[in-house]
Each structure stands twice: as C-alpha cells, then as structure tokens.
Amino acid sequence: MLSASTYALLEYGIEHIDLVLLVIGAVGLGIGAFGLIATITAALILWVRQRRRAKAGLSEGALDVECGSPVPTGFWLPRLRGIPFIAIRWHWLEPEAQVRVIPKGGQLREEVIAAKRGRVGAVVRELEVGDIFGISQIRMRVTEQRKVRFVPSVGQLKRVDVIRLGIPDDFAAEEGEGDLSHAYWAAVHEDYFIREGTFAPDMMLWCERFRLVEIIGEGADQ
C-alpha cells in the first residue's frame, strides 16, 4: 500500500498534476505512516511492560488447566485505547494450547483450552501488534516462568476407581503406554512415585476413565 501510494503521488499526482491521484497518494501515505507509528508505539509499550514484570519477578501462581474447557489464566494485556486502529493478539508457542482473548474493560484477558494433559515450568507466548489496515505488524516472544499442569476434564469422566498399586491388566492396557502390560505400568509408576518420595507398596491410586470429546489444534482433522 505504501509503495503504491508513493508511486501514485510522485508519478501521477505531482508530475501530471492529477489532483485525485494526488489526494489518494497523500492519504495512503498518511494512513501508512500513521499505522507504522502506532504499531511501533504500541509494541514498545507492551515490550516495556513485560520487561518490567519479568525483572520484578511478577507472575501468576501455579495453574491447573482442565483439558477441553476454557480456563482463565490471569494473564492480561492493556487494550491501549489511547492508540487508535491497533490490534493486539497472541498465542502460546509452548506448551500447546488454544488461546482465547477476552476484552473486558481496559484489559485483554487470556483464556486457554488444552487438548492433552501434561506439565511444564514455563509459558512461551508470541505477541502480535499491528494496525487494523494490515500495513504493519510486530511480533515478539515473551516467556513467563510459571508452573502449568494440564489435567483430564472432570466433566467427561466415565468412571473413577480407587485401587491399590496392583491395578487390573485392562486399565494398564487402556493407558496406552509402553507395551501395554501390567508389568510396564507398575514399573514406571513405582519409579515415578519413588522419585516424588511418596511411594508405598500399599498406596492407593485414583484410576480415571474419561471420554475424549474433541481434539483441538494439530491433528484435529485426522
């Protein structure tokens, strides 16, 4: 847009004294310049804000995300209403989760939907700041040191058994790990609880069976 406006302004507007193209070129250049300045200004404000939070060690507490349901994370960015024609959005690079940005008051609040269970010690986000005309865009990566755990959806639990460490063979196979045998399941879980310092031969376990409702993100169309 900027190059087309510049060409129209110089080649036709000024050289041939075409007032229509002169106005179009000037307006296009003005919009482009304003969009670029607004984008840079907004990006600088957000970058400084996140840098100060990181230096001060400001972060939300540990987060449990129930898979398949939108969960507020407590993370938010200012809407920057004082800078017109600016669009702010972001997504998670690590771990994998769908991000929903919810405008509320002067804030853009974050909700996430996880597709699979897991545990991480940090969240890596990619922020995108640009003008609504699509002329300019700036991206920046922000890392938040925060413990996040993705847990199965309680709303889709089909069955919960409370049993001792010696589980039924069918449950070991249904977990789908290793060679699906009871021996493999018992070995890896005993090793895990020993590392956690909570192992006992007669310890009780919650064994959950749940129904997969939807796969979100990569592989959803397979």
3-class DSSP assignment, residue 147: strand
33: tokens are 């310049």
Counting every residue written for the chain, the total comes to: 222
pLDDT tens digits, 86-101: 999 999 999 889 999 9
**Helix/strand/coil (H/E/C) assignment for every residue in 46-90:** HHHHHHHHHHCCCCCCCEEEECCCCEEEEEEEECCCCCCCEEEEE
> Residue 130 pLDDT more than 90?
yes
3-class DSSP assignment, residue 91: strand
- Looking at beta carbons, which pairs linking 51-56 to residues 24 or more positions away fall under 8 Å? 54/143, 54/144
Average pLDDT over residues 40-49: 93
State phi, psi for 53 to the nearest 5 degrees: -65, -40
Owner of token pair 């996140």 = 50
Closest CA to 46 of 91, 74, 12, 79: 79
Average pLDDT over residues 166-172: 70
> Residue 12 pLDDT more than 50?
no
State phi, psi for 110 to the nearest 5 degrees: -105, 135
Residue 160's pLDDT band (cuts 50, 70, 90): very low
Domains of the chain: 59-151 (2.60.40), 154-210 (no CATH)
Residue 161's pLDDT band (cuts 50, 70, 90): very low
pLDDT tens digits, 131-141: 888 888 999 99
- Asked whether the beta carbons of 197 and 146 are under 8 A apart, the reply is no
Higher pLDDT, 27 or 12: 27
Average pLDDT over residues 66-73: 86
Residue 110's pLDDT band (cuts 50, 70, 90): very high
- Asked whether the beta carbons of 109 and 11 are under 8 A apart, the reply is no
Separation of alpha carbons 1 and 21, rounded Å: 14
